Amino acid sequence: MATVLSTIREPRDLDGLSPAQLETLAAEIREHLIVGVSAAGGHLGSNLGVVELTIALHRVFESPRDRIVFDVGHQAYVHKLLTGRQDFSMLRRKGGLSGYPARAESPHDIVENQHASTALCWADGLANARDLTGVDGHVVAVIGDGGLTGGMVWEALNNIAAAKDRPLVIVVNDNGRSYQPTIGGLADYLARVRTAPDYEKVLQWGRSVLENTPLFGRQVMAVAHGAKKGLKDVLVPQGMFEDLGLKYIGPIDGHNEADLEAAFERAKGFPGPVIVHCITEKGHGYPEAEQSDERYHQVKATNAAPPGAGNWTNAFAGEMVALGAERPDIVAITAAMRRSTGLEPFAELFPDRFFDVGIAEQHAVASAAGLATAGLHPVVAVYGTFLTRAFDQLLMDVALHRCGVTFALDRSGVTGEDGASHNGVWDLAVLQVVPGLRMAAPRDAAQLRAQLREAVAVSDAPTVVRYPKGDAGAPIPAVDRVGDMDLLRRPDPAEQAEVLIVSVGGMAEVCCAVADQLTAGGHPTTVVDPRWVKPLDPALPGLAAGHRLVVTVEDGVRAGGVGAAVGQALADANVWRPVRSFGTPVAFLDHASRGQVLQHCGLTARDITDQVEATLTTLDRTDATVAMSG
């Protein structure tokens, strides 16, 4: 027997459904999400909370002619289901559906928006273009209250409100959460809206008082009727949006599909910008998700291994607690990622020294500069992909002022399943141009703890400790040391070393495997972990001079990355050795597992070994040609 959901292939299939069928559809969507996302992994709570909201959007607006832009996009799974994408068996896996809107999947996906607080900027541009080109259609931006904490939203609102005759619908999905409960003044404001009584009930109360105590009742009614707007703003504090010049509709029950449709119809007919404020519950319809916090924001696949003690994030979390106990000047900052970056234990033990600024990376970094200038040492913990949002603040506020701020970049390098925007492959290249910045790339959990300590000891420059997602693996011991660098493999002293591999961070295990294969094949190989990849150790050129070929391996973009820095360091030292760099291409990498992405980029031990052997063969031919010509 066909389900209602199975009959939906595009949004107009919703038009003929009865209220009872719509209710059934919402229940089927929730069941589909719980089963499919729990099996494949992905964002669950955020999507369970927008089921009725998304159904109502697609019944009122005509996507893709009407352009619906989802901020972040992790709440767009229901949108995918209603636009013909119902096979979640390969969600976020190679060859399957993306965990975010994806233009290659559907014309209904307008923006591949995987970073927060940008949807209103997109909507402003789309609405401007619509009016300039004369193309028909509405523009709708869907943004959560967590996304409203980002500064770009308020830059966009400033411009949207100025165009009072330009239609644009902003749907605020207000559930009081992003990854965790939304914080800050805006969160408090929206909380008052969510909890305020209906001001009309106060007027009714005044009328009942009037019947029994005429004098007092008349005073209440005089205040109520004479200052109706003021009373409304106190009890239902919507005035901020209207004072900005934005029509306000709400608050609306975000799980009442009929009420949502009515609100969207009103917004659709308004001749200027309008906000529709919808109150939803994250995880609605699934008790475990309703009662949980960040754990059901994004769930792991059912076959995913639980994080162990060797998990990178856990290692950082433990060391931050230890450092916090030792040094009262250490403070921690994050951008709405208290648990996922590992700062929750620190926050619980040292609440006065922990700052969650919301989804506002730029503010986090500039605020850290202020904290450092006042004598504290901030540790800013964000995902590697999100630091690029605050590059200007790192460059001009932190580095220019020589502030001692440490950046802990979780999920750096190839992350995999979340796709193009979440692979943290840009940091090794982008941060090379920041004067004075020092960057560490630990190879295992023990090194992460050690290098974090080294980083927070620096008080006159920004420091970065970057590490990948997932399991840190077994410790990789050093066999010797050159300068401040660790040697992980060293040929027998009787053999002339031929290849020097410069291993960057979490690629150490792969590099050691390459060295073992090359050495077994007759090419004695050294592996060095520079530990600090900016600036490079001055002993590196001398070490390279004792080898025939230098190979660098990093899980970041090759252009301008550590490999390029190594080549420049050798040239500056007049050490002329060929450098073969391995890394990711300058490309947006599709969603797949980390291992699959690394394989796609040629960053497996076998691929690298084959390429190095081919390079050595070419060098042999070149040497032979030179010898013959001589």
Residue whose pair of structure tokens reads 């709405």 in the numeric block = 336
Handedness of CA 11, 17, 19, 20 (dihedral sign): negative
Task: Quickly tell me which residue has 């007027």 as its tokens.
Answer: 203
* Dist. CA 532–CA 543, nearest whole Å: 16
Residue 176's CB is within 10 A of a number of other CB atoms, namely 18
- Sequence ranges of the binding site: 74, 145-147, 175, 286, 361
Amino acid found at 223: V
Residue 411 Rama label (left phi>0; alpha psi -120 to 50; beta): left
Packing angle between helix 199-212 and helix 214-226, nearest 10 degrees?
Answer: 150
Tokens 């927060």 sit at which residue?
116
The catalytically annotated residue of 30, 93, 232, 282 is: 282
**Contact predicate 232/243, CB 8 Å:** no
User: 389, 411, 449, 548: which is the annotated catalytic residue?
Assistant: 389
Active-site annotation holds for 300? no
Task: State the burial class of residue 225 (Cβ atoms within 10 Å of its Cβ: 0-12, 13-18, 19+).
Answer: exposed
Which one of 52, 319, 361, 498 is the catalytic residue? 361
- C-alpha 77 chain-centroid distance: 17
Q: Residue 550, SS3? A: strand
d(CA 499, CA 497): 6
Judge whether 172 and 247 are in contact, CB under 8 Å.
Answer: no
- Distance, in Å, from the CA atom of 594 to the CA atom of 416, rounded to the nearest integer, reads 4
Indicate the annotated binding residues for thiamine diphosphate: 74, 146-147, 175, 286, 361
3-state percent helix, strand, coil for the chain, nearest multiple of 5 = 45, 15, 40
For this structure, is 164 an active site residue?
A: no
Coil, helix or strand at residue 137:
coil
**Which residues fall in the annotated binding site for Mg(2+)?**
145, 175
Catalytic: 361?
A: yes
Residue appearing with tokens 């760099």: 581
Provide the annotated active-site residues. Answer: 282, 361, 389
